[in-house]
Structure 1
């Protein structure tokens, strides 16, 4: 099995690389990130499509991929970007930044990497969804930019699934909600997390890989939780 992990320097991405690196089924693993975390890391910038294309060309020369996971995401940053509690806090810069990282990045990865997926055996293109991206499940409001971006990511996943089914019957495109994971992304909000529900990156990665192992083409386009249950659109 040959695997590419985008966002390999993040909390979940690092855990995915660690676990897949110790999986005897994995013959080749490509960590891909903005920052170099090991000698094998491919450097990529979502703001520069040429870096995505270059990574794809490099990997293409080695043969088809069986699994692509886009594990990158943005909810807040050190420059004051925070989830909005009210529509009065909406700003174009924040909307654009979250959309660029959470939607445009994965879309461009799909553009260049779905064609690299194996044509003759099960293969998976997975992104990190979020339950807050479910329109049906939104009963709390708030977090406008992040909710909108994650909802768009689910639509991207569904649309990729429709087209991929026409081109490669073995391809499964899924958005995966990892739960609330103990990473920098959730750190400012962990005080409100119910006891026993905060998941370590290692456990989150194991859960996601278990779901990926179990999916089949009939589930392509679905938004799935860490336990494999389907999240309503």
Structure 2
């Protein structure tokens, strides 16, 4: 297969990361989790108690170095020379990532890295603005969605499996707020890209969604 770029967008809990990983594995190409980069940025802000205003964030841009490397096919997220995969999946980090990603200068810093990765290699990249802004000329654009109730239940079940108790209604409220921030930010908001294929994952299994996308890739 010649070089291919696949963009997968959608709101929190739509299944982007799980599905993108499976697509990348099936095609034997690289999976790039852009959300992990924003989580690394958010982790830095939490650790260093950075105020969430434009000036404070611009002031620290040169202090934050986020990189990606791949070991045995797995993405390793590097924050200032530290592998932070074990720390960025915390719920508080996810909330912070959603907040900092609304700032244009933060997005520009990370988008540059994402685009350089896609220029060199075949990738499946998932996020909120991949098809619209990061990879507007992607060979295939997918927009995954699901109802708020379904996405909240998925997150609730995921936390339960980890032994973390959080009220379902609180999770649903957090997802609703995150959707609003993502869809209404001034720069590169979450929306379905022109030419994107929309897939509602509410009543589909992961494998059914993966099969749908692989069939679309065969038509390219």
Which of the pair is proportionally richer in helix?
2
- Report if TM-score (shorter chain) is over 0.5: no
> What is the TM-score with the length of structure 1 in the denominator?
0.37
